[in-house]
Amino acid sequence: MNILQTIPLNHYIMLSALLFSIGAMGVLLRRNAIILLMCVELMLNAVNLLFAAFSVHHADGGGQVMVIFIMTVAAAEVAVGLAIIVMMFRKAGTTDINLFDTLKW
Amino acid sequence: MTLTVFYLLSALSVFSGLMVVLSRKAVHSVLYLVFCFFTIAGHYLMLNAQFLAAVHVIVYAGAIMVLFLFVIMMLNLNLAAEAQKTPWIKISAVILSGLMLLVLVASVKGAEELSAAQPQNDIGLVKNIGNILFDKYLLPFELISLLLLSAMVGAVLMGRKEPQPQNE
């Protein structure tokens, strides 16, 4: 039995769009830099889910390989991002992004 | 039956995603995000992408979220109340993301669905993924190891304490 004969692809698209929008809302809404990174992770996961759904639907494994690459990039991003946040915390004693506006025009 | 499971998993992932954004304490956000990742792993299992589900649980729930938890506990962020944005910015953030959702959904709504050539169920098994990964995508696979190496070097370089200048 194929899963996509019971669940149409549209459902996966809607779910991914919803999760992506929630992540974007978090990025705009919060001020803690760590929570911002977590919301970016949520957005990446929404895209990953859609990649996997399309891969199964089109019988092409390339989409799932792409998901593995995205996971690797996400891991690298989190490692470097958290290092930057820890350094910011050491310099300023906070992770509030509104206080780090030196580069803002 | 399958559709019911799908709806249940989707509701759980959307709920936990919302709680990541809305909960006040950073540790609660991390725990909700871990839960969200587990529901997404459930989605992968339903798609019969077993390798992806395993890697997702190991890498995201096992490594990345533990790193987040570690940093939050190290910086002791749970004590300090997070500063809030002004109500106007909050309202406009919600409206903006709602508009983005509207545009995404509306652009897909009228799209014509391409029918799959021959839907296969065994494409997510380890054997097939490995065959594709080490055959067609070998060069990107090697390059991504370079990316991981440089990220590791960068993280170690930034994370270490700066040496104190010697007073003479």
Question: Tens digit of pLDDT for each residue in B24-50?
Answer: 888 999 999 999 999 999 999 998 889
Q: What is the mean pLDDT of chain B?
A: 87
A69: in domain:
yes
Helix (H, G, I), strand (E, B) or coil at B41: helix
Best A56, A73, A95 member to test B by mutation, with max B CBs in 10 Å, is: A56
A93: in domain:
yes
Q: How confident is the model at residue A81 (pLDDT cuts 50, 70, 90)?
A: very high
Helix (H, G, I), strand (E, B) or coil at B85: coil
User: Residue length, chain A?
Assistant: 105
A79: in domain:
yes
B37–A76 CB contact, under 8 Å: no
A63: in domain:
yes
What is the tens place of the pLDDT at every residue in B55-67?
999 999 889 999 9
**ipTM rounded to 2 decimals:** 0.90
What is the tens place of the pLDDT at every residue in B116-141?
666 666 777 888 889 999 999 999 99
User: Which residues of B are less than 8 Å from A70 in CB distance?
Assistant: none
Domain count, chain A: 1
Whether B12 contacts B39, CB under 8 Å: yes
- Distance, in Å, from the CA atom of B93 to the CA atom of B87, rounded to the nearest integer, reads 10
Residue A53, domain extent: 32-104
pLDDT at B52: 92
In DSSP terms, A77 is beta-bridged to: none
Q: Which amino acid is at A95?
A: T
User: Which residues of B are less than 8 Å from A67 in CB distance?
Assistant: 52
Alpha carbon of B104: minimum distance to chain A alpha carbons (Å): 7
User: Which residues of B are less than 8 Å from A55 in CB distance?
Assistant: 49, 123-124
A2: in domain:
no
Which residue would you say has higher pLDDT here, A60 or B136? B136
Identify the CA nearest to B56 among candidates A56, A92, A67, A40: A67
Q: Which amino acid is at A13?
A: I
Q: C-alpha A90: how far from its chain's center? A: 26
- Domain ranges for chain B, please list them: 1-77, 125-159
Q: Which fold has domain B1-77?
A: Four Helix Bundle (Hemerythrin (Met), subunit A) (1.20.120)
Residue with tokens 């989409």: A63
A8: in domain:
no
